[in-house]
Amino acid sequence: MFSSKMDERDIARAGLEIQAIKLNPNNPFIWASGYRMPIYNDNRRFLFNDDDRELVTDAFYDVIDGLPFSVIAGTSTAGISWGALLAKRFGSGFVYIRDKPKDHGLRNQIEGIDAMSDLGGHNVIVIEDLISTGESSAKAVQAIRNAGGVCNYCVSIFNYGLDKAIRAFGELNPECNVKSLLTYDTLLRVARETNYINDQQEAMLAEWRADPFGWGEKHGFLKVDR
């Protein structure tokens, strides 16, 4: 994935240091779904500091350099800034993808092209900040295809590696390749090596990935009604 495997570990270390990634299996976070989960991710934190921003942008560059594309598409909202930075670096076209078409005006879902035209067969890479269940990411890929673009790659900063995401992307036809700068397994290794978590917490976090939606109740953390 990288020219140097250290890139992935550097992103893990930086993410934990600036709290773009938080791990707390003893007092889990409440996700928007109401489930109690031991991890919380806010990759927008990488944007604030120039060194962190360059670390992520360089890693994205290494992954997508050489792939066939003429347009980069950022997902709304967290993928927009990274997509724009990469389009500038590559000198490519740029659009962004709404989670659904606007309910007024020209009802655009793909912003950056005229609503009365389409992507005209351009090869497009979708840039995501995070892949969790994969549903919104797969829908973004399909939106590009529906708009006449060829989309065979979705690249994210972080990927939980959940089976649900694998299924969501597996339902796309044709297949879309998923690449991520940081994987959950590497994050856990770095978190343990830096003593961010202990052995017991590492085991709990590994268990979560195997059953993310049953993990909280099993450990006494009930789903919260939203």
φ and ψ at residue 19, rounded to 5 degrees: 65, 30
Structure tokens at 94: 């740029």
Does residue 200 form part of some domain?
yes
pLDDT in tens, 90-122: 999 999 999 877 555 456 799 999 878 899 999
The pLDDT assigned to 220 comes to: 96
The pLDDT assigned to 102 comes to: 56
User: Which domain covers residue 109, as residue numbers?
Assistant: 6-218
Does residue 226 form part of some domain?
no
Does residue 224 form part of some domain?
no
> Mind giving me the DSSP string for 14-57?
HHHHTTSEEE-TTS-EE-TTS-EESEEE-GGGGGTSHHHHHHHH
Give the pLDDT band (50/70/90) at residue 2.
very low
Query: What is the mean pLDDT of the segment spanning 4-28?
Result: 90
Does residue 173 form part of some domain?
yes
Q: Residue 78: which region, alpha, beta or left (left: phi > 0; alpha: psi -120 to 50)? A: alpha
Does residue 1 form part of some domain?
no
Beta strands in the chain (DSSP E): 21-23, 29-30, 36-37, 39-41, 71-75, 93-97, 110-111, 123-131, 150-159, 177-183
Does residue 223 form part of some domain?
no
pLDDT in tens, 176-226: 999 999 999 999 999 999 999 999 999 999 999 999 999 999 999 999 987
Does residue 225 form part of some domain?
no
Compute the mean pLDDT over every residue in the chain, rounded to the nearest whole number: 93
Q: How far apart are CA 181 and CA 111, in angstroms?
A: 25
Around 13, how many Cα atoms within 13 Å sit in the side-chain half-sphere? 8
Per the structure, the count of domains in the chain is 1
Does residue 113 form part of some domain?
yes
Q: What is the CATH number of the domain that holds 16?
A: 3.40.50.2020
Q: What is the pTM for the complete model shown? A: 0.93
